[in-house]
């Protein structure tokens, strides 16, 4: 794009394309109704008595040009009058080019109109409006040589000379200010934190003023409001696999809702939340985020789709609710489980790993939650999955999320089986590992099974280490869930015969003399295993399958088929 510069001697505008002469650039804060526009500076060149010459902004332009001439600059760029803002096309191009214009300038002059002569300029600097404006962030970062001036155009110091003070006031690393560390080497969340306390006149500019900092180009759509910042994050994801962009909410310090005395669900220590941040302010506590490795060296692959954020293969850490809360109260009926994606970054100096917490709400479908992690413990298991994360929690979808676990079939191991492990679930995409349940949406066609790894119990000897499988399904009339227990040998025979675990399911219940019921048993050696379904219509999940084991029962105990159980 061509650049329009002001001749510092004549104050006339000249447009350059291709070969651009050395130029200086101005960084400042605007004063409403006092800045000189493109049309006005053009009019002044033809009429020295133009009414715009009475504006304070005109005197600022003259002082800028005088300072530039003193340093040998023939041209300077000033945002108020070098862009024809009446042209939306030109404004769009200018905003997308602005970071480069500041970066290519030989010197950037920062004019601080509210920095008056005081004993210590550096002490007064922290009160300057310039440090609170969104557009001024890139104007500090992009140019190599930055010179600061007070209200009377007295020189304060350079960016390098004021580096320590500027770093303290802005949170920007010293090595970034002095140019030793490039912006792309800083995690996205940390760069966002630099803008967390800055503001802009128009909501959309909260996003547009950050384009160059993230090396993004995108069209300006004034009127889109907060969607502009959402679009910025989406564009960043398309260009970078830096997971720290999702770091915003988990580091916020705001309290979660207080628990109501009679509240039965787990919402008092968790909240559904949107995948993306609403504004840079959400990254306010990310100033100490450091990457575990450069994103350019990471193989993390994710993309936005019309369903949500898609991970083809991501490692999920499992979290389960504590049996007892820190205040000593028991969790009771409700069991709440989470998945966590490690975001490959941590918050120093505490070295807290940044994690995005999720709840499974459907086959391969997850929703982001904000949680009080004091109530959860991390399981040793991890699970590699293909997942989709919903991007937006709307008022329409929230009730459906609340009901997503209502018809789940949850498995609980009791007695001698308490320390056993559930595994090998089919269908896998319906299985919610942290809560040990199949997600079911009142489908009468649902059938599945899960293995009980009896051998995982440390209290069983090696010769006792056997596996059994719980087959279950939805019963339409009367509405409910049936269960059936089979041995590992029986399961493997069925799978070999049908070549597919899902096709094998009908054969597992075919020998039953009547429709499967809510009670089942299985004799293996001197142990009898039991599975019983409890239907609790007013709770979520509504179906609990309790698994127990008894010792000392003989080989001649009734078989499943004789009992007519499932």
Range of the domain at 74: 3-181
Boundary residue ending a domain (129, 162, 181): 181
Grouping H, G, I as helix, E, B as strand and the rest as coil, residue 505 is helix
What's the pLDDT score for residue 159?
A: 97
> Using alpha carbons only, what angle is made at residue 112 by residues 117 and 201, rounded to the nearest 5 degrees?
140
Instruction: Determine, yes or no, domain membership for 161.
Output: yes
Instruction: Determine, yes or no, domain membership for 230.
Output: no
User: Does residue 43 register a pLDDT over 80?
Assistant: yes
What's the pLDDT score for residue 556?
A: 44
Ranges 193-207, 466-480, 498-512, 543-557: which has the least confidence = 498-512
CA-CA distance, 389 to 401, in Å (whole number)?
13
In contact, 245 and 189? CB cutoff 8 Å: yes
Instruction: Determine, yes or no, domain membership for 313.
Output: no
Boundary residue ending a domain (134, 159, 181): 181
User: Does residue 515 register a pLDDT over 80?
Assistant: no
φ/ψ of 16, rounded to 5, equals -125, 140
Distances (CA, A) of 213 to 207, 312, 345: 11, 29, 20
Mind listing the pLDDT tens digit for each residue in 415-448?
Answer: 888 878 898 899 999 999 988 999 987 666 788 8
User: Does residue 5 register a pLDDT over 70?
Assistant: yes
Which two three-digit tokens encode residue 534?
């409890």
CA-CA distance, 464 to 216, in Å (whole number)?
61
Q: What percent of the chain clears pLDDT 90, i.e. is strictly above it?
A: 59
φ/ψ of 8, rounded to 5, equals -70, -15
**What is the mean pLDDT of the segment spanning 280-294?**
89
**First-to-last C-alpha distance (Å) of the chain:** 74
Instruction: Determine, yes or no, domain membership for 496.
Output: yes
In contact, 156 and 162? CB cutoff 8 Å: yes
Higher-confidence position of 157 and 268: 157
Candidates 318, 322, 310; CA nearest to 341 is 318
Give the total number of structural domains in the chain: 2
What's the pLDDT score for residue 256?
A: 44
Find the length of the chain: 566
Grouping H, G, I as helix, E, B as strand and the rest as coil, residue 58 is helix
> Using alpha carbons only, what angle is made at residue 321 by residues 302 and 255, rounded to the nearest 5 degrees?
80
What's the pLDDT score for residue 119?
A: 64
Secondary structure percentages of the chain, helix, strand, coil, to 5? 30, 30, 40
DSSP class of residue 503 equals: H
Ranges 127-131, 274-278, 281-285, 470-474: which has the least confidence = 470-474
User: Does residue 268 register a pLDDT over 50?
Assistant: no
What's the pLDDT score for residue 495?
A: 65
Which two three-digit tokens encode residue 377?
């413990």
Of the pLDDT bands very low, low, confident and very high (cuts 50, 70, 90), residue 267 is very low
Candidates 272, 481, 235; CA nearest to 357 is 272
Instruction: Determine, yes or no, domain membership for 414.
Output: yes
Ranges 88-97, 283-292, 342-351, 404-413: which has the least confidence = 342-351
What's the pLDDT score for residue 332?
A: 43
Mind listing the pLDDT tens digit for each residue in 208-239?
Answer: 999 999 999 999 999 999 999 999 999 999 99
Grouping H, G, I as helix, E, B as strand and the rest as coil, residue 538 is coil
Higher-confidence position of 241 and 321: 241
The CATH number of residue 490's host domain is 2.60.270
Instruction: Determine, yes or no, domain membership for 278.
Output: no
Higher-confidence position of 309 and 491: 309
Instruction: Determine, yes or no, domain membership for 307.
Output: no
- pTM value is 0.85
Instruction: Determine, yes or no, domain membership for 513.
Output: yes
Boundary residue ending a domain (181, 206, 233): 181
Candidates 249, 231, 28; CA nearest to 147 is 28
Of the pLDDT bands very low, low, confident and very high (cuts 50, 70, 90), residue 494 is low
Candidates 283, 135, 142, 146; CA nearest to 199 is 135
Per-residue burial over 48-70, b = 16 or more CB atoms within 10 Å of its CB, e = otherwise: eebebbebebbebbebbbebbee
The alpha helices in 344-487, defined as continuous H runs, are: 398-402
Higher-confidence position of 259 and 183: 183
What's the pLDDT score for residue 98?
A: 98
CA-CA distance, 387 to 385, in Å (whole number)?
6
CA-CA distance, 248 to 252, in Å (whole number)?
7
Ranges 134-148, 312-326, 481-495: which has the least confidence = 312-326
Mind listing the pLDDT tens digit for each residue in 324-375?
Answer: 544 544 444 445 688 999 999 988 766 678 889 999 999 999 999 987 766 6
Highest mean pLDDT among 36-50, 240-254, 502-516: 36-50
């Amino acid at each position: 794009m061509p650049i329009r510069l002001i001749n510092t001697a004549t104050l006339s505008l000249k447009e350059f394309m291709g070969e651009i002469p050395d130029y200086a650039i101005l960084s400042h804060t605007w004063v409403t109704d006092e800045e000189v526009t493109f049309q006005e500076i053009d009019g002044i060149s033809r009429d020295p008595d133009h009414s715009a010459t009475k504006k304070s902004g005109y005197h600022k332009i003259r002082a800028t040009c005088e300072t530039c001439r003193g340093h040998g600059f023939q041209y300077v760029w000033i945002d108020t009058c070098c862009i024809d803002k009446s042209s939306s096309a030109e404004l769009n191009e200018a905003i997308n080019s602005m970071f480069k214009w500041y970066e290519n300038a030989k010197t950037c002059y920062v004019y601080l109109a509210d920095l008056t002569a005081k004993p210590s300029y550096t002490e007064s600097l922290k009160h300057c409006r310039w440090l609170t404006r969104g557009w001024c962030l890139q104007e500090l970062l992009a140019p190599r040589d930055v010179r600061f001036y007070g209200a009377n155009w007295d020189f304060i110091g350079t960016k390098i000379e004021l580096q320590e003070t500027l770093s303290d006031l802005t949170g920007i690393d010293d090595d970034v200010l002095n140019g030793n560390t490039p912006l792309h080497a800083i995690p996205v969340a940390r760069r966002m934190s630099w803008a967390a306390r800055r503001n802009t006149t128009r909501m959309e500019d909260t996003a547009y003023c950050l384009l160059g900092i993230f090396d993004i180009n995108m069209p300006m759509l004034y009127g889109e409001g907060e969607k502009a910042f959402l679009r910025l994050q989406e564009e960043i994801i398309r260009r970078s696999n830096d997971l720290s962009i999702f770091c915003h909410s988990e580091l916020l310090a705001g309290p979660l809702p207080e628990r109501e005395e009679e509240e039965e669900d787990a919402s008092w220590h968790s909240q559904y939340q949107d995948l993306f941040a609403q504004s840079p302010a959400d990254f306010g506590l990310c100033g100490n985020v450091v990457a575990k490795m450069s994103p350019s060296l990471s193989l993390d692959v994710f993309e936005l789709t019309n369903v949500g954020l898609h991970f083809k293969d991501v490692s999920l850490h499992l979290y389960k609710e504590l049996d007892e809360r820190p205040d000593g109260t028991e969790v009771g009926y409700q069991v709440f489980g989470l998945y966590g994606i490690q975001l490959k970054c941590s918050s120093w100096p505490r070295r807290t790993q940044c994690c995005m917490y999720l709840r499974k709400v459907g086959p391969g479908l997850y929703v982001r939650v904000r949680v009080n992690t004091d109530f959860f413990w991390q399981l040793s298991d991890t699970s590699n999955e293909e997942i989709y994360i919903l991007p937006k929690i709307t008022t329409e979808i929230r009730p459906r999320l609340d009901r997503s676990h209502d018809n789940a079939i949850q498995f609980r191991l009791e007695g001698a089986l308490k320390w056993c492990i559930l595994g090998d679930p089919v269908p896998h995409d319906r299985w919610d590992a942290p809560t040990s349940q199949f997600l079911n949406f009142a489908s009468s066609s649902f059938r599945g099974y899960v293995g009980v790894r009896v051998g995982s119990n440390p209290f069983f000897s090696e010769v006792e280490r056997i596996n059994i499988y719980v087959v279950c399904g939805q019963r339409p009339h009367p509405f409910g869930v049936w269960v059936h227990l089979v041995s590992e040998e029986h399961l493997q025979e069925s799978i070999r015969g049908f070549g597919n675990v899902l096709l094998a399911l009908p054969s597992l219940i075919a020998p039953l003399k009547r429709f499967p019921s809510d009670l089942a048993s299985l004799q293996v050696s001197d142990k009898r295993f039991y599975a019983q379904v409890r239907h609790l219509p007013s709770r979520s999940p509504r179906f609990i399958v309790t698994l127990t084991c008894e010792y000392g029962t003989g080989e001649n105990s009734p078989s499943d088929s004789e009992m007519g159980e499932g």
